[in-house]
A and B are shown apart, each in its own frame.
Chain A
Amino acid sequence: MILAVAVAGFRERRRRPAYAVVLLAAVGLGYLAVPAAGSRWTIVSLGGYRGVYDSAYTGTVCALAGALWLCVGGFYVVRTALAQDRATGVRELLAVSRMRSASYLAGTFLSNLLVLGSMAGALAVTAGLLQLARGESYAVSPVALLTPFVLFTLPVLAITAALAVFWETVPGLRSGFGNVAWFAVAVVGMIAAQSPTAPLGGLGTGPVAASLRDAMAARGLSSTEAAIGFMYLDEPPRTFGWSGLPVTADLVADRALLVLVAVVVAVLPALWFGRSSPVRSSGGPVRSAPADAGYADAAPIPYPRGAVRANRTFARLVAGEARSLLAGVSRWWWAVAAGLCAVTLAVPTPTVTALLLASWGWPVLVWSRLGLQGRDTGVDALLGAYPAGRARLLAEWVAGVAFTAALGAAALVRLGIAGDLGGVAAGAAAAAFVPAMALALGLVSGAPRLFQALYLTLWWCVVNGIAGLDYLGAVAGGPSPLVVAATAACLVATAYGAATARARRR
């Protein structure tokens, strides 16, 4: 029964377009993990050294990169399994079956793990191909290549799959807020899991780093640092030979225990999770329909003839898009946004840009609706027969720009008053860029999570001072506002292309 739920869930999700995007992302991650010999980018820092690209080293760095990034990003891929079952009515069918909640949750956990595991599989295949492509060693050892994936990636992905189930069973976490909460939890968790003293081997960095250091020491080299992330080196790293991590019984036991913990985390919510109760499973009380006046009982009304068309309706379209974008946003959300604006007006000028960054991190869940509202609500079934589809798409973007600009207005006014016209231009370009990114990613992937994950990563990079990715002028030396605005234009064009392609597929 558990296996049936798992396989059905996996089949359903692997047939979605987003799954192909996810697999491509896994391949891209492998490409980043094994850069060309002359590259200065690395995701494993060993004091300016790296291992020769043989099966052991290539497999290990790809496995560690997978454990890190598939954990952070993969969560967003699998976190709607229970919500999907509810939306499609599958959960109601299961609720009247003999299946217990624990079995259902275990099956969903396994389904999540299959999705994440297939991403790890794509990454492993990429690792093998990149080993050959880089040409430093042509001897492919499947055991050396795959063992790190089994020992490091899969247990971490099991924890991710379990937490995705857990998140969906906790009322406060199953909403969009849960996506943001996960990003924060994952960032902190990943830093802690890289510590040599992390419980059950953490991410796996500790034992791997120790083994790599031993290999370096044997060759008279030394390194005090060992970290994974995405780092830029002053010079391309030099190489040394490494035969791989010795697999000990303790290590295997630790990783098996991690998988066991994952199973417990996934099944634990059976204590409070109700499969059939709409009140418990929707996160709020079910509203009853308003009293129906009774269409048939009413006196017949003559049909009103005559409708006048206008040439200019764009402003009303923008207003309508803005209304549907913002309808349902809670009061406490607006209170925080208003608070950020108020603080921005009060702080000293040098702090204004930092507050602009905060103001434009807050609406990520609202932006992520762009491009998806019509599809998610089913309104697209009506709009498909309405004229001016291009104008509607443009209106949706303009509504997003107006919303973004309104949230950043306090900061932009302050920068303008201070004479920082460059800052104003950068802010204006960012106000165009962020909704364009949301619209394009929403239409391309068909889900809000790709934007949520990528935008938060981009925003986090800017918070950490990476100038090359600074889209709002917060860090000196970032791209010019013209480049950001041009990127926004390209993203709007991409959104239009994706919408057109979708319409043609109907």
Chain B
Amino acid sequence: MLELLEVTKDYPNRPHAVDAVTMRLEAGVLGLLGPNGAGKSSLMRIAATVTRPTRGRVLFEGTDVVARPDVLRRTLGYLPQDFGVHPHLTAREFLSYLAAAKGLSRRSARERVPQLLELVNLTGAAKRPLGGYSGGMLRRVGIAQALLADPRVLIVDEPTAGLDPQERVRFRTLLSDLASDRVVVLSTHIVSDLETITDDVAVLAGGRLLHRGTLDRMLSGVAGQVWELSADPADVPRLQAGFRVTRLVRTPSGVRVRILASAPPDRRAEPAVPDLEDAYLGLVSAGVRS
């Protein structure tokens, strides 16, 4: 449905922010992981037609949407990481304006705006100016606007930032529901956000696509490479200098250290079951080194 072919983005002060990324997206959720500055947001903006790639193509059902962005924009839902609102408009007025900008009919807009406000539980605040909304409420207005056109492609960048844990659960459930028949691209640097929502993960670092595949495949990449040991706090700097430490937990007897290494880092080290965070850190550190 949506294809990114050899997509590259060079900024004047940051060449290769996205470096020859190729991806094919079908119905379902794709989780996009990567450290800060990995190029996730740039890639999302390119996929959402907000930014033009320096090189490469973006195809939506065969149409080049770099040349003809409106073909995708009509049926796209996009929630950027940072956005603003007209502070003096109410949520209802703001969404009605965006519905017109999206090209919805008057009747459809009249139906969908209250429905979506109800979906994100803002009906009670719908007639209040947005300038008085809290961060979480504004995020939900952002989610509602992304769903205005009942999009076939939904691109959401760090959508759970500012939502409390319960809200995050509810939003993830909504995304799972939507993904049954549409493309959903979800960017995050919170690894645990993805585990419950998708099996399809892409990892970016330094603008390059390091991994695209299932979570199991990602985990298999660090099988037999995760170790845990109890250490004296004074020993921790030495371990950090010599190994890739993925977790430190203070215990009454010292510090429980989790290490990523191809061989046991210490005679006290015991093998541990890898989790997604280990797999992610293993991939990213290998990608950065190469």
Contacts and interface: CB of A to CB of B under 8 A. Distances in A.
* A and B from one complex: yes
Contact of B101 (A289, A308, A317, A506): A317
Contact of B104 (A292, A294, A307): A307
Interface stretch (B56-64, B68-76, B183-191, B257-265): B68-76
Contact of B112 (A295, A297, A307, A382): A307
Nearest to B124: A293
A321 B98 CA distance: 10
B132 interface: yes
A306 interface: yes
B55 interface: no
Contact of A289 (B45, B52, B133, B163): B133
Contacts of A332: none
A378 interface: yes
Contacts of A98: none
Interface in A470-506: 504, 506
B103 A297 contact: no
A392 interface: yes
A327 interface: yes
Contacts of B142: 382
Nearest to B118: A301
Nearest to B127: A290
Contacts of A293: 121-125
Summarize A's interface: helix, strand, loop or mixed.
Answer: loop
Contacts of B164: 296
Nearest to A307: B150
B253 interface: no
Contacts of B101: 313, 317, 320, 383, 386-388, 392
A363 B102 CA distance: 30
B86 interface: yes
Interface string B93-129: 1001110111111111101100110111111110010
B167 A386 contact: no
Interface residues of A, number: 47
B147 interface: yes
Interface residues of B, number: 72
B97 A290 contact: no
Contact of A387 (B103, B122, B163): B103
Contact of B105 (A295, A304, A310, A383): A310
Interface stretch (B173-181, B213-221, B227-235): B173-181
A331 interface: no
Contacts of B112: 304, 307
A99 B149 CA distance: 50
Summarize B's interface: helix, strand, loop or mixed.
Answer: helix
Contacts of A298: 121
Interface stretch (B24-32, B77-85, B278-286): B77-85
Nearest to B93: A323
Contacts of A295: 120-121, 136, 140, 163, 166-167, 170
B290 interface: no
A320 B85 contact: no
A378 B164 CA distance: 23
Contacts of B273: none
B128 A290 contact: yes
B74 A382 contact: no
Nearest to A315: B100
Contacts of B167: 295-296
Nearest to B73: A387
B118 A296 contact: no
A377 B87 contact: yes
Contact of A296 (B45, B115, B133, B169): B169
B148 interface: yes
B104 to A, nearest CB: 6
B174 A303 contact: yes
Nearest to B125: A290
B50 A385 contact: yes
B132 A288 contact: yes
B87 to A, nearest CB: 7
A92 B170 CA distance: 34
B137 A385 contact: no
B251 interface: no
A328 interface: yes
B124 A381 contact: no
Contacts of B84: 377-379, 381
Nearest to B47: A385
A379 B94 CA distance: 10
A404 B244 CA distance: 65
Contacts of B74: 309, 387
B132 A316 contact: no
Contact of B108 (A290, A292, A308, A387): A308
B121 A304 contact: no
Contact of B119 (A304, A306, A309, A323): A304
A310 B86 contact: no
A324 interface: yes
A303 B177 CA distance: 8
A296 B171 CA distance: 9
Interface of B: 45, 48-52, 69-70, 73-74, 76, 78, 80, 82-89, 93, 96-98, 100-109, 111-112, 115-116, 118-125, 128, 131-134, 136-137, 140, 142, 145, 147-150, 155, 163-164, 166-167, 169-170, 173-174, 177-178
14 contacts: A292-B136, A292-B137, A296-B167, A303-B119, A303-B174, A304-B150, A310-B106, A313-B101, A323-B97, A327-B93, A382-B145, A385-B73, A387-B73, A506-B50
Closest 6 CB pairs of A and B: A378-B84, A296-B166, A320-B97, A327-B88, A310-B105, A328-B88
Interface of A: 287-298, 300-301, 303-310, 313, 316-317, 319-321, 323-324, 327-328, 373, 377-379, 381-388, 392, 504, 506
